């Protein structure tokens, strides 16, 4: 409290006392002993009112005890059940939940992990893949400023993601791994990673790279075989020893039939081998007889050009060629799509040939685009000519309906550089991204698609797409999402198919350990996306003839259905729009791929390394009690008493107004009772 406030309170007390004495002693007609009581009430009433006007502030300090956090992360993947430890993990969870001392000492939170980390209600050991590294990245942000030891119940067998034993080096909490699984090492042959392209071309041979491993100390021999159905397409004898634990086999397999072909790569079991499920793996290849050839025409050297080639060719169905404008003339008919990068005056013969051939194109513009020329060479877009550039970001248009375009958080991507000026779309067009300048979202297109008399085009009004691909990798640790975005643009621009009111987007085959999702778009008679439709799918297993019916769910500008619950096999399906008489059919294959069955032992080495990296300690599933005792006795994990200090103004004391009202009421009642006015 300041000295000024203190002087004001003293002054208020003096004024209140003066008012009370003046009214009940100096001006009073009848002076009795009750006047002292009246004066006292009047003093407190006036003093209270003056205090409210002064409104002094005081500090209010509250003490509380904060317990340290304890995160218990449970491996909820199928490998726990395959190893036969699901019941013991459930028992371990019950012991943690029922231990009163542990729950009194810690604020315990339970998490499950498989493909991703989620809060845990119950375990079902149904996750098809395991990413242990995601536990550390999730907990880093969740417990950034807390003391939060982590108990990790896992077999340590990870199927995808970063190597978690190295990721844990940057984790700032103590980790106590509980090894779930057999720690003994048995002789075991393993078919590890199988690398193969998703597509192959008819009458060619496609490479298959197989990583094989051996756990054991003996000299053993086996035979690697690749089969398509009952037909052996490749085989090779291989041997392992204590010094030679792994081998990489590369095979060339002939592609003789168009369509999805399933293959099985297997290793012949050795004597007394305990786990033979990891001796084989399935993979599939779609054999096709055509390829999309894309020509990129550019007069300048720019990172975007190299990025486009890399991104487009990530789809094995695409092939990219680079040419300068003069080199491209006369060759355009050899390509299904021509990409024009920052066209200028040298592109005049290219535009004339594109017009003569009626060929689709994709145009990417930027500061080096000569709009004086481009405005005259095509009739789809007009760009106001200025000499200024500006940086713009992209904002997704939720009403874009030309094809399924997933939002990659474009608004968080680095800005593209574009020419300043208004853009007018002079033909039928659909805007996918709008330009955002600073904090203002404009109605100027950044990405748009056109369709003029069956001739399709894509326009990107900015350079710097290579930064988008880099940012997408930073966000997702993969180029896949951005490359799919570019592939959608290429697929639309390269296609000459007529518009259909019902379009489907799906893959020819899916692996059983991944998601199986199909997408559909339905348009009304004006070819405007209709989000009011009811779409259903009927899926039939070709072998068992089992039927599965389900509705599609609306997701932004597309309908989506997840069929990940289907068993591996060959399926046919029909998508129907209710009450519209529209339907589309297709087929797909789910390839058996139980990656969680590939493990025989717990990965003790990796879990031990995590304990070392985080200054923790490794335990086994049978030593839960020593771990609980250790945590309770460790002085690093003690409750901390903290305090909060709040500055509270007197006017916030609502009960003070009640006291003042009560004092006035009592004084009034006593005066009336004694006949005073």
Secondary structure of residue 291 in the 3-state scheme: coil
CA geometry: angle at 180 spanning 177 and 185, to 5°? 110
Residue 202: predicted pLDDT: 80
**With b meaning 16 or more CB within 10 Å and e meaning fewer, what string describes 638-659?**
eeeeeeeeeeeeeeeeeeeeee
Strands (E) located in 166-258: 175-179, 188-196, 199-201, 204-215, 220-228, 231-240, 246-255
Token digits of residue 557: 């500008």
What is the model's pLDDT at position 643?
Answer: 66
b/e sequence 255-287, b meaning 16+ C-beta within 10 Å: beeeebbbbbbbbbebeebebeebbbbbbbbbb
On the question of pLDDT at 498 being above 80, the answer is: no
pLDDT-derived band at 499, boundaries 50, 70, 90: low
- Same CATH fold, 292-494 and 68-183+602-638? yes
60-69, 108-117, 511-520 — which is least confidently predicted? 60-69
The per-residue pLDDT for 46 is 81
Alpha carbons within 13 angstroms on the beta-carbon side of residue 290 total 4
Q: Which residue shows structure tokens 């006593």?
A: 670
Q: Any idea of the CA torsion for 87, 90, 94, 96, to the nearest 10 degrees?
A: 120
Predicted TM-score (pTM) of this structure: 0.56
Map residue 317 onto helix, strand or coil.
coil
Beta bridge partners of 210: 194, 249
Most confident of 460-469, 476-485, 501-510: 460-469
The pLDDT value recorded for residue 596 is 66
Predicted local distance difference test score (pLDDT) of residue 151 = 95
CATH number of 188-288: 2.60.40.10
d(C-alpha 172, C-alpha 563), whole Å? 39
Give the residue from 425, 429, 434, 432 showing the smallest Cα distance to 450.
Answer: 429
Whether the Cβ atoms of residue 295 and residue 318 lie closer than 8 Å to each other: no
Residue-range domain boundaries for the chain = 3-63+645-673, 68-183+602-638, 188-288, 292-494, 502-595
- Does domain 502-595 fall under CATH 2.60.120.560? My reply is no
Q: Do 248 and 162 contact (CB within 8 A), yes or no? A: no
**C-alpha of 387 from chain center:** 40
Residue 633: count other Cβ atoms within 10 Å of its Cβ: 8
pLDDT at 1: 60
Cβ count within 10 A of residue 623:
13
Q: Is the pLDDT of residue 348 over 70?
A: yes
Task: Say what the pLDDT of residue 234 is.
Answer: 93
Q: What is the pLDDT of residues 82-93, one digit of tens each?
A: 888 999 999 999
The CA distance from 459 to 447, in Å, is: 6
76-127 residue pLDDT tens: 998 898 888 999 999 999 999 999 999 999 999 999 999 899 999 889 998 8
Given pLDDT bands bounded at 50, 70 and 90, which one contains residue 29?
Answer: low
Helix (H) or strand (E) holding 377: helix 371-377
- Side-chain-facing half-sphere of 342: CA atoms under 13 Å: 19
Question: Rounded to an integer, what distance in angstroms lies between the CA atom of residue 667 and that of residue 35?
Answer: 11
Helix axes of 624-633 and 86-98: crossing angle, nearest 10 degrees: 30
Note the Cα 380 to chain centre separation in Å. Answer: 37
For residue 417, the model assigns a pLDDT of 92
Per-residue pLDDT tens over the stretch 367-394: 999 999 999 998 899 998 888 889 999 9
CATH classification code of 292-494 = 3.40.50.880
Residue 620: strand pairing partners: 179
**Contact criterion met (CB below 8 Å) for 346 and 369:** no
Task: Tell me which residue of 130, 99, 95 sits closest to 115, measured CA to CA.
Answer: 130
List, for residues 145-170, the tens digit of each pLDDT value. Answer: 888 999 999 999 888 888 899 999 99
Residue 294 is predicted with a pLDDT of 92
The 10s digit of each residue's pLDDT in 567-612 is: 888 999 999 999 888 899 999 988 887 666 667 678 888 999 999 9
CA distance 503 to 27: 96
Which CA distances in Å does 655 have to 47, 48, 658? 15, 12, 5
What is the 8-class DSSP label of residue 2? Answer: -
Distance (Å, whole) CA 146 – CA 576 = 53
Does 443 have pLDDT greater than 70? Answer: yes
Nearest Cα to Cα of residue 54 among 1, 7, 9, 2: 9
pLDDT surpasses 90 at 488: no
Mean residue pLDDT of the chain comes to: 86
**Residue 207: strand, helix, or coil:** strand
Closest CA to 292 of 489, 517, 505: 489
31 falls in which pLDDT band (50, 70, 90)?
A: low
In angstroms, what CA-CA distances link 355 with 15, 333, 408, 455? 96, 11, 34, 10
Q: How far is CA 627 from CA 61, 106, 158, 606, in A?
A: 37, 14, 24, 19
Which residues contact residue 53 at a Cβ distance below 8 angstroms, ignoring those fewer than 6 apart?
none
pLDDT number for residue 630 = 93
Name which residue leads in pLDDT, 186 or 225: 225
Sequence-separated (6 or more) residues with CB below 8 Å from residue 115? 127, 128, 129, 130, 131
* Strands in 91-203 per DSSP E: 107-113, 117-119, 150-154, 175-179, 188-196, 199-201
pLDDT top residue among 9 and 385: 385
The 10s digit of each residue's pLDDT in 256-314 is: 888 888 898 999 988 887 778 788 888 888 887 777 899 999 999 999 999 999 999 88
Is the separation of the CB atoms in 579 and 260 below 8 Å? no
SS3 content of the chain, % helix, strand, coil (to 5): 30, 35, 35
**pLDDT at residue 28 in the model:** 64
CA R_g for the chain: 37
Q: What pLDDT is stored for residue 4 in this prediction?
A: 79
Residue of higher predicted confidence among 271 and 342: 342
Is the sign of the CA dihedral 594, 599, 602, 608 positive or negative? Answer: negative
Q: Are 533 and 525 in contact (CB under 8 A)?
A: no
- Please state which CATH class domain 68-183+602-638 belongs to: alpha beta
Residue 325: strand, helix, or coil: helix
Q: What is the pLDDT of residue 3?
A: 77
Calculate mean pLDDT across residues 354-375: 91
Asked whether the predicted pLDDT for residue 652 surpasses 70, the reply is no
Are the C-beta atoms of 453 and 413 separated by less than 8 Å? no
Mean pLDDT of 228-243: 89
Q: What is the mean pLDDT of residues 625-645?
A: 85
pLDDT at 52: 75
pLDDT for residue 174 = 94
Confidence check: pLDDT of 357 > 70 = yes
d(CA 448, CA 456): 11
């Amino acid at each position: 409290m300041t000295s000024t406030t203190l002087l004001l309170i003293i002054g208020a007390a003096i004024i209140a006392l003066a008012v009370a004495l003046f009214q009940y002693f100096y001006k009073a007609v009848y002076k009795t002993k009750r006047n002292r009581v009246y004066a006292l009430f009047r003093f407190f009433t006036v003093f209270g009112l003056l205090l409210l006007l002064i409104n002094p502030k005081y500090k209010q300090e509250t003490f509380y005890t904060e317990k340290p956090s304890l995160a218990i992360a449970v491996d909820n993947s199928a490998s726990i059940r395959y190893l036969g430890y699901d019941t013991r993990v459930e028992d371990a969870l019950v012991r943690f939940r029922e231990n009163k001392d542990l729950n009194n000492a810690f604020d315990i939170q339970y998490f499950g992990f498989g493909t991703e980390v989620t809060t845990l209600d119950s375990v079902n050991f149904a996750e098809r893949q395991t990413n242990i590294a995601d536990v550390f990245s999730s907990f880093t942000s969740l417990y950034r400023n807390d003391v939060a030891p982590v108990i990790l119940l896992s077999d340590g067998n990870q199927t995808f993601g970063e190597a978690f034993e190295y990721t844990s080096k940057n984790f700032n909490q103590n980790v106590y791994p509980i090894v779930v699984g057999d720690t003994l090492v048995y002789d075991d042959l393993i078919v590890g990673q199988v690398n193969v392209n998703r597509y192959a071309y008819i009458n060619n041979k496609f490479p298959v790279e197989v990583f094989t491993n051996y756990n054991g100390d003996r000299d053993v021999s086996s035979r690697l075989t690749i089969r398509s159905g009952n037909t052996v397409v490749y085989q090779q004898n291989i041997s392992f020893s204590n010094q030679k634990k792994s081998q990489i086999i590369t095979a060339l397999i002939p592609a003789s039939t168009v369509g999805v072909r399933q293959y099985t790569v297997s290793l012949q079991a050795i004597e007394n081998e305990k786990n033979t499920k990891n001796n084989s793996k399935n993979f599939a290849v779609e054999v096709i007889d055509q390829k999309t050839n894309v020509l990129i025409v550019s007069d300048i050297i720019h990172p975007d050009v190299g990025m486009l080639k890399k991104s487009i060719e990530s789809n094995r169905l695409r092939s990219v060629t680079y040419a300068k404008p003069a080199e491209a003339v006369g060759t355009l008919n050899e390509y299904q799509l021509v990409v024009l990068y920052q066209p200028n005056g040298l592109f005049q013969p290219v535009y004339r040939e594109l017009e003569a051939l009626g060929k689709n194109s994709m145009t990417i513009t930027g500061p080096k685009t000569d709009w004086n020329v481009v405005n005259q060479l095509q009739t789809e877009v007009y760009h106001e000519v200025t000499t200024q550039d500006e940086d713009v970001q992209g904002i997704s248009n939720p009403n874009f309906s030309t094809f399924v375009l997933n939002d990659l958080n474009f608004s968080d991507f680095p800005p593209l550089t574009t020419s300043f000026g208004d853009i007018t779309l002079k033909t039928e067009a659909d805007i996918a991204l709008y330009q955002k300048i600073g904090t203002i979202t404009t109605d100027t297109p950044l990405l748009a698609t056109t369709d003029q008399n069956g001739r399709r085009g894509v326009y990107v009004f900015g350079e710097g797409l290579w930064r988008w691909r880099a940012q997408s990798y930073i966000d997702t640790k993969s180029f896949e999402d951005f490359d799919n975005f570019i592939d959608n643009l290429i697929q639309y621009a390269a296609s000459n198919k007529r518009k259909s009111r019902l379009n489907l987007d799906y893959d020819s085959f899916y692996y059983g350990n991944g998601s199986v999702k199909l997408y559909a778009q339905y348009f009304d008679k004006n070819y405007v996306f209709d989000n009011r439709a009811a779409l259903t799918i009927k899926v039939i297993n070709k072998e068992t003839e089992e039927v599965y019916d389900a509705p599609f769910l609306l997701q932004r500008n597309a309908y989506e259905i997840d069929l990940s619950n289907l068993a591996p096999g060959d399926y046919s399906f029909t998508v129907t729009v209710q009450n519209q008489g529209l339907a589309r059919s297709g087929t797909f294959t789910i390839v058996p791929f139980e990656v969680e069955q590939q493990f025989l032992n717990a990965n003790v080495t990796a879990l031990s390394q995590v304990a070392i990296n985080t200054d923790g300690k490794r335990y086994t599933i049978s030593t839960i009690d020593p771990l609980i005792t250790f945590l309770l006795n460790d002085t690093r994990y003690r409750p901390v008493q903290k305090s909060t200090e709040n500055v509270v103004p007197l006017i916030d004391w609502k009960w003070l107004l009640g006291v003042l009202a009560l004092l006035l009421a009592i004084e009034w009642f006593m005066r009336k009772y004694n006949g005073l006015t």
